[in-house]
Amino acid sequence: MGRVAIIGAGPSGLVAAKSAIECGLNPVVFEQASTYGGIWRPRVQGGFIWNNMHANLSYYCGMFSDYSWNNEADCFPSQQAIYEYLGKYIDEFKLKSYLRFNTSVISIKKHENIWQVDRLEGGENKTEEFEYIIVATGIFTEPYVPDIKGSEEFEGEVLHSKEYDVPNNFRNKKVVVIGGAFSGAEISAEIATTTLPEKVINIINEPFCVLKRYVPYKTHHSPVDLVLYIRAKEGPQRREEITKLGYCHNSNSQEPHGYIIADSYEEEVKGGRISIVEGKIQEFKKESIIVNGTEVPADIVIFATGMYRGPYFAVIELQARWACMVFSGKISLPEYEVMLKGLEEERKIRNKKPRPQFPHGDYINFADDIAKEIKVLPDFDELRRNNPHVYELFLEGPMVGSNYRYSGFGSNPELAVKLSEKARKALEQQSK
């Protein structure tokens, strides 16, 4: 039984451990924090999510392929709900004994065919050997704060979104939120809605389109991700629908550069409680910042410049299954030249400026491509001939991770259909 060292006990690390066990491997998960969950762990234990924040994906797209959420009241779960879901996932697949908390991996070195993992555990330096390594430390974990001239002179308060919590100290303050992504919009709207600031200014680099969590679908409203992630709709059609459903800042722009999900942002902007400024912060002054050469008074500056983007649960799981299936010999690696080409393409994506919101393009095609590589993508031609119900369910219904449990290694067709039907029902019937 090959031993696999997994670095990190966030969603990626947990599903990697479960996938390793499924493939007959022996995982050990090293986590420097005192609990699991990554950014979703409680704030008091180092989590990055503020108390009032809810996910911008429904739990249908925020779950693993063979473990469903219960019928939670809120389709877009809170930090606490996601943390609890991951805890139940650990219990369901008996992962607890494989987790080592309060353990920092110092270095990983390869000696012939063995990996040597040096770690700090319980105040002691220890070394352990493994056949395989999975690094699941996440790219959401590093907050990005630009180096701005004059920041040491600013007499106001400077925060990063990971430090933001309940907005109880913004009354009569001039608040500047820097960043036009999900956290920037949500924080701007929450401050404008729940406190009495003197003003809220949201500084963004590029135009964007704002969607609400529930959007019109047929005669009702459904979760936005279920409406948009349907295989039968091609990429251009999907992007066109996104734009039609949302509020697009700077409608003169040919196409928004990004899409964000925030329920009350549009109303706060139209009501004059949030002012949008396109540009980049250039300099701090004593009581202000300079944006595009214009001085903007500020008491509090919040950098919602984000943590670097990571993939959704379905992709996380497919990547973990791919690695563990290769480690266990169930599938082979691609040809060497193909892997080199892939690495070069990934470097170009990683280094692209500005960073694209969706680095790998269409989410559904990206997930399906991975599933095809590891032979868990349903055979749509065969389904069309022999099982039209499942064919229509997978093609016309929302793309969810359970689609990839229908066939291939680790398949559970009955569960795959059950969970996919649950998502389809939410698409067709849910109203908000």
Predicted confidence (pLDDT) per residue in 161-193, tens digit: 888 887 677 889 999 999 888 889 999 999 998
**Looking at the predicted structure, is the pLDDT value of residue 266 above 50?**
yes
Instruction: Please report the pLDDT score of residue 248 as a whole number.
Output: 77
Would strands 103-111 and 208-211 be described as parallel, antiparallel, or unpaired?
unpaired
Instruction: Please report the pLDDT score of residue 296 as a whole number.
Output: 93
**Residue 169 belongs to a domain:** yes
SS3 state of residue 214: strand
97 and 193 together in one domain: no
Boundary of a domain, candidates 320, 349, 368: 368
**Residue 429 belongs to a domain:** no
Q: What is the pLDDT of residues 35-77, one digit of tens each?
A: 999 989 998 888 888 878 889 889 999 999 999 998 666 899 9
**Residue 213 belongs to a domain:** yes
DSSP state for residue 13 in the 8-state scheme: H
**Residue 401 belongs to a domain:** no
Q: How large is the greatest C-alpha to C-alpha distance in the chain, in angstroms?
A: 71
132 and 31 together in one domain: yes
Using CA atoms, how far residue 275 sits from 188, 200, 202, 285, in Å, is 10, 6, 6, 20
**Residue 16 belongs to a domain:** yes
Mean pLDDT of 20-24: 98
**Looking at the predicted structure, is the pLDDT value of residue 375 above 60?**
yes
More confident position, 117 or 73: 117
> 313 and 61 in contact (C-beta within 8 Å)?
yes
pLDDT tier at 414 (50, 70, 90 boundaries)?
Answer: very high
> 23 and 1 in contact (C-beta within 8 Å)?
no
Instruction: Please report the pLDDT score of residue 128 as a whole number.
Output: 96
Say how far apart CA 26 and CA 257 lie, in whole Å: 44
Mean of the per-residue pLDDT values of the chain? 89
298 and 313 together in one domain: no
Instruction: Please report the pLDDT score of residue 380 as a whole number.
Output: 96
219 and 263 together in one domain: yes
266 and 123 together in one domain: no
96 and 48 together in one domain: yes
16 and 90 together in one domain: yes
Instruction: Please report the pLDDT score of residue 156 as a whole number.
Output: 93
Mean pLDDT of 374-396: 97
182 and 257 together in one domain: yes
**Residue 379 belongs to a domain:** no
Q: How many residues does the chain have?
A: 432
Say how far apart CA 290 and CA 292 lie, in whole Å: 7
Q: How many domains does the chain have?
A: 2
Boundary of a domain, candidates 345, 368, 391: 368
Give the number of other CB atoms < 10 A from CB of residue 396: 13
Say how far apart CA 323 and CA 212 lie, in whole Å: 35
Instruction: Please report the pLDDT score of residue 308 as a whole number.
Output: 44
Structure tokens of 68? 């469903």
**Residue 375 belongs to a domain:** no
188 and 71 together in one domain: no
Q: What is the pLDDT of residues 193-213, one digit of tens each?
A: 887 888 999 999 888 888 999
**Looking at the predicted structure, is the pLDDT value of residue 243 above 80?**
no
More confident position, 287 or 350: 287
332 and 359 together in one domain: yes
Boundary of a domain, candidates 273, 303, 333: 303
* First and final C-alpha spacing in the chain: 49
155 and 299 together in one domain: yes
**Residue 403 belongs to a domain:** no
The CATH number of whichever domain residue 92 belongs to comes to: 3.50.50.60
129 and 265 together in one domain: no
More confident position, 186 or 240: 186
Mean pLDDT of 300-325: 84
What percent of the chain lies above the pLDDT cut of 90?
63
Domain residues for 203? 151-303
Mean pLDDT of 81-86: 94
**Looking at the predicted structure, is the pLDDT value of residue 298 above 90?**
yes
Say how far apart CA 297 and CA 394 lie, in whole Å: 52
Say how far apart CA 160 and CA 109 lie, in whole Å: 34
Structure tokens of 369? 């491509």
Q: What is the pLDDT of residues 331-350, one digit of tens each?
A: 999 999 999 999 999 899 88
> 271 and 197 in contact (C-beta within 8 Å)?
no
Mean pLDDT of 112-127: 94
**Looking at the predicted structure, is the pLDDT value of residue 326 above 60?**
yes
